[in-house]
Amino acid sequence: MSIRIIVFLLWISGGSLAAQEQVQMQIDALAASLVEQINRHPEVNTVAVAAFTDHQYKSNSLHRYLSDELATALVMNPNRKFIVINRSRLDVLLAEAKLDADGLMDPTNLPRLGRLNGTEMVIGALVRTATDYLSVTVQGIEVATTNALVAGRQSVTFIPSLRDLVDGAEGIVPSGDASADSAVKTPQGRPSALNIQQFKILSNGCRFDANTNQVLCDFEITNEGATTSLSIYGQRTEVFFQGMGAAQGPQNIDLDENNGRQRVSAIIRSGETVSMVLAISTSVKHTQIARMLINCHAQDRGIFNIELHQLSIQ
Alpha-carbon Rg for the chain, nearest whole angstrom, is 21
pLDDT in tens, 132-160: 666 766 666 666 666 667 776 777 666 66
Highest mean pLDDT pick, 96-100, 101-105, 287-291, 298-302: 287-291
Q: Rounded to whole angstroms, how far apart are CA atoms 152 and 136?
A: 8
Cβ pair 68, 84 in contact under 8 A? no
Look at 50-59, 71-80, 90-99, 173-182 and tell me which has the smallest mean pLDDT.
173-182
pLDDT in tens, 8-56: 555 444 433 344 667 778 888 889 999 999 899 888 888 877 777 777 7
Residues 6+ apart with CB under 8 A from 49: 67, 68, 70, 71, 74, 84, 87, 90, 122, 123, 124
For domain 183-312, the CATH class is mainly beta
Q: How large is the average pLDDT for residues 285-298?
A: 87
Confidence of residue 297 (pLDDT cuts 50, 70, 90): confident
- Residue 290: count of CB within 10 angstroms of its CB: 16
pLDDT at 84 over 50: yes
Domain ranges of the chain: 5-167, 183-312
pLDDT at 223: 93
Q: Rounded to whole angstroms, how far apart are CA atoms 308 and 290?
A: 8
Q: Rounded to whole angstroms, how far apart are CA atoms 47 and 4?
A: 10
Residues 6+ apart with CB under 8 A from 145: none
Span 5-167: which CATH code? Answer: 3.40.50.10610
Mean of pLDDT over the chain: 75
pLDDT at 174 over 60: no
Which ranges of the chain does DSSP label H, i.e. alpha helix? 20-38, 61-76, 87-96, 162-167
